Amino acid sequence: MIRSLGLKALQRMDPEKAHGIALRALRGGLVPAWSGPVPTSLRSRVLGFELTHPVGVAAGFDKNAEAVTPLLDTGFSFVEVGAVTPEPQDGNPRPRMFRLATDRAAINRYGFNNDGMQVIGSRLAARGEGGVVGVNLGANRDSADRAGDYGTVLRHLAPWVDFATVNVSSPNTVGLRDMQAREALEEVLSRTLAVRDEIAPRVKLLLKIAPDLTDAQIEDVAEIALATGIDAIVATNTTLSRQGVRHPARAEAGGLSGAPLMTRSTRILARLAARTEGRITLIGVGGISSGADAYAKIRAGASLVQLYTALAYDGPDLVRIIALDLARLLERDGFTHVSQAVGIDTFRSTAG
């Protein structure tokens, strides 16, 4: 009851302020750890990581690596911090986060606000080891070499992370999504891979894409991912579309996340799975708020899934609820292990 009342109070506040309070509550130990058993059917070995289940927290929730260990203790099997840029930046003017409760959605136009790689690196170093932790790599908006910023951040943070995600898909930095064009994407991935291979071959390199790509662009992404040898694709970031959104705040500029993104992002995920034929790991993010949503992503081709916006509506217990519901759905459909369900809808459809 206390947790429920606290969540309702946060939902009445300015969204960015509420987010800050939630992070402080995590750091202060006010969010209970997940102490119950995790069904063995959910245990996953993905990208070489041993995970108790496939549900992680997406980039954007803990931008500045302030609550990594508490988030792992809450029950997430992996945490992605950031986006992190070489130099600290304030991001866009406030207000820049809008809660669309009637749609269980949010719009943000943060603009890569973060404390910069030096401060965030100090926090990651101070927390010690334990758990699977990644960083979302970003570029400073005023950088003279945005493609090089990704490798700069990776070079600095590599000692303390297990994976790094190249983020060229945020809609809130002018021109950033242009880096998803074929030649630009090949450049940023090849340069970042060169840094990874030089200093930290153990760090897995991921690419996060937008949900607003055309079919031709999805084809390009798949071809480039397979050709460069990156380790995984994260599908997807926030969308510029407002299709099906009813809340008056839909007119605000920025990226839309939450429930309305579920169908769009899952469709992109399935197309990538069909195009890559299981040759690259896929991570599903966008609109997940239930075990059924996570299951749909997995059946479309995701080996792992990530949450963010739904936590603002359902609180940190959601990770446990989703994981246990996912286990029940697997059992219902006769699967003894989550890996058996990965891509089954996509590959069955392709075969048919």
Angle at 288 between CA 286 and CA 294, to 5 degrees: 115
Answer whether 27's CB lies under 8 Å from 67's CB.
yes
Spatial CB neighbours of 4, under 8 Å, sequence gap ≥ 6: 315
Spatial CB neighbours of 158, under 8 Å, sequence gap ≥ 6: 164, 196, 199, 200, 203
Classify residue 129 by burial, with Cβ atoms within 10 Å: 0-12, 13-18, 19+.
exposed
Which residue, 265, 173, 151, 286, is CA-closest to 211? 265
Which residue, 242, 186, 244, is CA-closest to 211? 242
CA 280 to each of CA 71, 152, 352: distance values in angstroms, whole numbers, following the listed order? 27, 25, 22
Question: Could you give the CA distance from residue 66 to residue 94 in angstroms, rounded to a whole number?
Answer: 21
- Per DSSP bridges, beta strands 78-84 and 97-100 are unpaired
The two tokens of residue 166 are 């190249």
Classify residue 324 by burial, with Cβ atoms within 10 Å: 0-12, 13-18, 19+.
middle
Going across the sheet that includes 97-100, the strands are 97-100, 105-108, 255-258
Beta-bridge partners for 166: 137, 207
Active-site positions read: 170
